A and B are shown apart, each in its own frame.
Chain A
Amino acid sequence: MLLWVAVGFAQDRPDRSRPPALGPAPQLNLPPIQKRMLSNGLPVWVIETHKVPLVQANLVVFAGSGDDPAGKFGVGSMTASMLDEGAGSRSALEIADAFEFLGANLTTGSNFDASVVRMNVPVPRLGDALPLMADVALRPTFPQQDLDRLRQERLTALLQARDDPQAIAPRAFQRIVYGATHRYGTSAQGTEGTLKALTSGDVRAFHDSFYQPSNATIVLVGDIRTDDVVPMLEQSFGGWKNVGPVRRVTVPTAPQLTQGQIYLVDKPGAAQSVIQIGWVGVPRSTPDYYRIQVTNTILGGSFSSRLNQNLREEHGYAYGARSVFDMRMSAGPFIAAAGVQTDKTADALREFFKELNAIRATAVSDAELTRAKNYIALGLPGQFETSGDLSQQIEDLIVYKLSDDYYQRYVPEIQKVTAADLLKTAATYIQPAKFAVVIVGDRKVIEAGIRALNLEPVRVMTVDEALGS
């Protein structure tokens, strides 16, 4: 160390006139996916990583909130939540105790497209934990008292959502863009009315219909060997039987908005206005996937994106601004969003529309295009660091039926995108004149300014209307 210090005094100053050149970017080097099948036909995907003595085991079931029957919005989500509230011979408390004692993390959940039981467990405890996991996924008992307890928790959470402009705004937005009858117009957990009407029979029927080996895949990632774990899986999941054909619900493509509209939800005394702007976006299967990702990265998908630079860095109206295409099996929403200080609400809206219009009016510069493409493409290896990260990337392949070499092809596909592609993409998918705008804020302070913009007719929406009944 003394020698080192001496060298330190003698050094020249480094050349700071330009940033140091980057060497060649590392490639994403995914370990191979090993595919097997259990005797009942349940596909098994294994990725061996040898890093930390943990294994991630995810059972993906092809049914989510999109499969909720009309009038029973929330049943798919409740089914997933109820899985570990009583299963096999164990009560909710016994299940929790057993997993925790093994040092295992078990979560159950769903989105619009799939339900997943995820378990992270030390490798030496995998043999103890898999039968428990199988009980939870395959043999839930759906006790009435536990359903009533979760129902009450969710109803209370819905009551608490009224406190929070950040919770009200997305619910109002989806209701306006999709309407009350389309599944995407109501949150995955449902409304007060559907929650109250939900029975254990509904939950059991959802489980019976969709939780079948022909409608599921199990993914294991971690410090394991495929040949060791397949027999263990066979023991826990191999006896799972199909009970009948699976009929998934196809969520219809929602009709697109045809004219602009602004909705104001009053939140007296709010320090910020929470703004959401957008319309019906695209499904995950869109052929324009890569072009849309690059377009959105430039618009509002990174720190240097136009929306964030404008609303945060240039004007200081917000802590941050962003946009996202929420892609699902059917077309999910495109949303541009920010929380902005109350007295700058109208100014912020004007800047939002300025950026939304600009991205479709003028071709992006080479520098901006290259930056966005590199941010997405070169950052890819960082998305695969942990067994949990890796398993969820694999879930996407499974749920959206992407090709096995999807992640190998990802970088060249992104790099192919041109400035001309972006103009076309923005012209198609970003049409601000037809967008819905939701603003949750202090009406008496912000209404006049918003009306003075003369953007669209301004309507007032109550919190009750936003949350649905």
Chain B
Amino acid sequence: MKVRLGLLLLVVLSFPLSAQQNPRSPIPDPQSPLEVPYRQFTLANGLNVILHQDRSAPVVAVNMWYHVGSANERPGRTGFAHLFEHLMFEGSGHVKEGEFDTLLESAGGDNNGSTENDRTNYIIDVPANALELALFLESDRMGYLLDTMSPDRVNGQRDVVKNERRQSYENRPYGMAGLALDEMLWPEGHPYHWPTIGSMEDLTAASYEDVVAFFKKYYVPNNASLVIAGDIDLDRAQALVQKWFGEIPRGAAVEPVAPPAAVLTSVKRHILTDRVELPRLYLGWLTPRIYAPADASLDVVSYILARGKNSRLYKRLVYDTQMAQEVFAVQQGTALGGSFLIVATARPGTQMADIQKVIDEEIDRMRREPPEERELQRAKNQIEASFYRQMERVGGFRGKAEQLNAYFDFAGGDPDYFAEDLARYTSLSASDIRAAVLQWLPADRRVELVVEPEKKQ
């Protein structure tokens, strides 16, 4: 079932590949199957376009990124970028309400979208014969969305988004913790301080006039990037992009969001109650942005701490002592900075303080000594193989089209950053891992959030 998600957490996709000789690499002699050749050009109106041909299945992925997300919102209108995303599916100048979906379904296609802090993406996956239909629909909402926009349409999706907030946050166990965590990690006024889903009050306040202004400011071709990947003829695809998008006028340049760097200067503690049976601990640190050097080191730290039965926290907390039901760690690199999270849920009868003590001991051990060679290599091998798995799909939220746009937007402008991304991981030494823990996971500058069960009546 298609949903249109406001993703709260941008979970980093590890996407490295093997390009150098590494005798213990799982794929020792790649025949360059991971190269992603592309053609890139810019229309006169500023639309960036990236084409990639992969004829292994008769499908095409059309992946549009607008460089706008919840970080571009202002206090009082949180959740607006995501509400706006919903409106993009409701019809445009030459597409009646409902037709966006019915036309694509009639062609055997699927579509979706998601909003994060720094970008909003729109995905259309179609059989190869429906490429032009997808470009017609995608260009029509870029060029003519406001022709049929109305206060009624805004009200309709406002109700849907409020139900998305109820379903995905308020009515979900621990669902409000992520929102509280972001408020603690990022200072007041920083654009990551507020949640992508927004507050109910701000969703209520969002107006038709806001929609018009937001569209004119951000949904311009010069603030977007289009990837078409799959079973395409490059010249024909380029001509079709020109045909359908070329007429759309360029807009004013969009100023990048540039808040002062966020720092934590102490330990911030908070307790939240929820209708849950078991307490859960969240530890959070502010860390480097996506694709910054330490971003990869911290990714590997998350593997060594909490990926697989032999990872240090899983083994101690879940496997050996069984103090915890689960433990999880992630480096979330986003455009304006990153965060590292460790999350553990206590078993009945376990004190959260005891779990926290184990976590602190293990982080401390990583500060004192580098990981064992096998631990590091195991993580690298898993990461390398996971990269190849990503290469099998062109569309959806995890396919090559999405990754090309992500590299283009966040990795310095080169869509085929795959080999460089791999090198970030394969080049890591055990001492790099220790250095990252020392620098970025200090004991005295972090967030400690505990979700406690509500007292039973």
Q: Which residues of A contact B (CB under 8 A)?
A: 1, 4-5, 7-9, 11, 13-14, 16-17, 19-20, 22-27, 29, 49, 51-54, 92-93, 96-97, 100-105, 120-125, 149, 152-153, 156-157, 159-160, 162-166, 269-272, 274, 302-304, 308-309, 312-313, 315-320, 322, 339-341, 370-372, 374-382, 384-388
Residue of chain A at shortest CB distance from B112: A303
**Cβ contacts A to B, 21 pairs, < 8 Å:** A4-B242, A8-B45, A17-B94, A24-B129, A93-B310, A103-B385, A160-B278, A163-B173, A271-B166, A271-B171, A272-B163, A312-B163, A319-B160, A319-B166, A322-B1, A340-B163, A341-B166, A371-B102, A376-B108, A379-B127, A382-B395
CB atoms of A124 and B392 under 8 A apart: no
Q: Could you list 16 further interchain pairs (A-B, Cβ under 8 angstroms) beyond the known A24-B129, A319-B167, A378-B107?
A: A8-B246, A125-B27, A149-B322, A272-B167, A303-B2, A316-B157, A316-B158, A319-B164, A319-B168, A374-B106, A376-B108, A379-B110, A379-B127, A381-B127, A386-B393, A388-B389
Q: Which residues between 215 and 258 of chain B lie within 8 Å of chain A, taking CB atoms?
A: 231, 242-244, 246-247
CB atoms of B392 and A385 under 8 A apart: yes
CB atoms of A382 and B247 under 8 A apart: no
CB atoms of A162 and B94 under 8 A apart: no
Given contacts A54-B392, A93-B319, contact A11 B243 (CB under 8 A): yes
**A370 CB to nearest chain B CB (Å):** 7
Q: Which of B42, B144, B393 contacts A1 (CB 8 A)?
A: B42
**A351 CB to nearest chain B CB (Å):** 14
CB atoms of B33 and A163 under 8 A apart: no
Chain B residues with Cβ under 8 A from A122's Cβ? 26-27, 385, 388
**B102 CB to nearest chain A CB (Å):** 5
Q: Which of B110, B111, B325 contacts A382 (CB 8 A)?
A: B110
**A101 CB to nearest chain B CB (Å):** 5
Given contacts A11-B243, A14-B247, A319-B168, contact A302 B105 (CB under 8 A): yes
Q: Which residues of B contact A (CB under 8 A)?
A: 1-3, 26-31, 33, 41-45, 56-59, 93-95, 98, 101-103, 105-111, 125, 127-130, 132-133, 136-137, 140, 144, 155-160, 162-164, 166-168, 170-173, 231, 242-244, 246-247, 275-278, 308-310, 315, 319, 322, 325, 345, 347-348, 374, 377-378, 381-382, 384-385, 388-389, 391-395
CA distance A24 to B133 in the complex (A): 13
Chain A residues with Cβ under 8 A from B309's Cβ? 92-93, 96-97
Given contacts A303-B101, A318-B163, A374-B108, contact A101 B385 (CB under 8 A): no
**B80 CB to nearest chain A CB (Å):** 18
Chain B residues with Cβ under 8 A from A53's Cβ? 27, 30-31, 33, 388
CB atoms of A379 and B136 under 8 A apart: no
Chain B residues with Cβ under 8 A from A162's Cβ? 277
Chain A residues with Cβ under 8 A from B164's Cβ? 319
CB atoms of B58 and A29 under 8 A apart: yes
Chain A residues with Cβ under 8 A from B246's Cβ? 8, 11
Chain A residues with Cβ under 8 A from B108's Cβ? 25, 374-380, 382
Chain B residues with Cβ under 8 A from A164's Cβ? 172-173
CA distance A121 to B319 in the complex (A): 25
Q: Interface centre among A156, A164, A312, A385, by most B CB within 10 Å? A: A385
Chain A residues with Cβ under 8 A from B127's Cβ? 25-26, 378-379, 381-382
CA distance A152 to B244 in the complex (A): 58
Q: Interface centre among B103, B173, B322, by most A CB within 10 Å? A: B173
Chain B residues with Cβ under 8 A from A92's Cβ? 309, 319
Given contacts A103-B26, A163-B277, contact A52 B163 (CB under 8 A): no
CB atoms of A100 and B389 under 8 A apart: no
**B29 CB to nearest chain A CB (Å):** 7
Chain B residues with Cβ under 8 A from A320's Cβ? 1-3
Closest 3 CB pairs of A and B: A378-B108, A316-B159, A103-B385
CB atoms of A375 and B319 under 8 A apart: no
**B286 CB to nearest chain A CB (Å):** 29
CA distance A24 to B173 in the complex (A): 48
**B327 CB to nearest chain A CB (Å):** 13
How many A-B residue pairs lie within 8 Å, measured between CB atoms?
Answer: 262
CB atoms of A16 and B129 under 8 A apart: no
CA distance A384 to B109 in the complex (A): 14
CB atoms of B243 and A93 under 8 A apart: no
CA distance A54 to B117 in the complex (A): 34
CA distance A304 to B105 in the complex (A): 8
Majority DSSP secondary structure for residues of B touching A: mixed
Chain B residues with Cβ under 8 A from A319's Cβ? 3, 160, 163-164, 166-168
Given contacts A122-B27, A272-B163, A304-B98, contact A25 B129 (CB under 8 A): yes
CB atoms of A102 and B381 under 8 A apart: yes
Chain B residues with Cβ under 8 A from A304's Cβ? 98, 101-102, 105
**B311 CB to nearest chain A CB (Å):** 9
CB atoms of B105 and A23 under 8 A apart: no
CA distance A391 to B157 in the complex (A): 39
CB atoms of B391 and A52 under 8 A apart: yes
Chain B residues with Cβ under 8 A from A302's Cβ? 2, 101, 105
Chain A residues with Cβ under 8 A from B391's Cβ? 52
CB atoms of B171 and A19 under 8 A apart: no
**B231 CB to nearest chain A CB (Å):** 8
Residue of chain B at shortest CB distance from A165: B171
Chain A residues with Cβ under 8 A from B103's Cβ? 19
CB atoms of B140 and A16 under 8 A apart: yes
Q: Which of B42, B166, B347, B392 contacts A339 (CB 8 A)?
A: B166
CB atoms of B33 and A52 under 8 A apart: yes
**A15 CB to nearest chain B CB (Å):** 9
Residue of chain B at shortest CB distance from A8: B44
CB atoms of A156 and B325 under 8 A apart: yes
CA distance A318 to B95 in the complex (A): 24
Residue of chain A at shortest CB distance from B29: A124
CA distance A96 to B379 in the complex (A): 12
**B169 CB to nearest chain A CB (Å):** 9
CB atoms of B325 and A160 under 8 A apart: yes
Chain A residues with Cβ under 8 A from B44's Cβ? 5, 8-9
CA distance A29 to B381 in the complex (A): 33
Chain B residues with Cβ under 8 A from A272's Cβ? 163, 166-167, 170-171
Chain A residues with Cβ under 8 A from B395's Cβ? 382
CB atoms of A316 and B160 under 8 A apart: yes
Chain B residues with Cβ under 8 A from A26's Cβ? 58, 127-129, 231
CA distance A53 to B239 in the complex (A): 33
Residue of chain B at shortest CB distance from A309: B98
Residue of chain B at shortest CB distance from A97: B310
Chain B residues with Cβ under 8 A from A165's Cβ? 171
Chain B residues with Cβ under 8 A from A54's Cβ? 385, 388-389, 392
CB atoms of A16 and B130 under 8 A apart: no
CA distance A376 to B110 in the complex (A): 11
CA distance A385 to B400 in the complex (A): 13
CA distance A377 to B105 in the complex (A): 10
CA distance A51 to B107 in the complex (A): 26
Residue of chain A at shortest CB distance from B40: A1
**A386 CB to nearest chain B CB (Å):** 4
CA distance A228 to B246 in the complex (A): 52
Q: Which of B109, B155, B310 contacts A379 (CB 8 A)?
A: B109
Chain B residues with Cβ under 8 A from A388's Cβ? 389, 392
CA distance A126 to B384 in the complex (A): 16
Q: Which of A96, A120, A157, A315 contacts B308 (CB 8 A)?
A: A96
CB atoms of A156 and B348 under 8 A apart: yes
Chain B residues with Cβ under 8 A from A372's Cβ? 105
CB atoms of B315 and A93 under 8 A apart: yes
Residue of chain B at shortest CB distance from A9: B44
CB atoms of A303 and B105 under 8 A apart: yes
**A135 CB to nearest chain B CB (Å):** 16
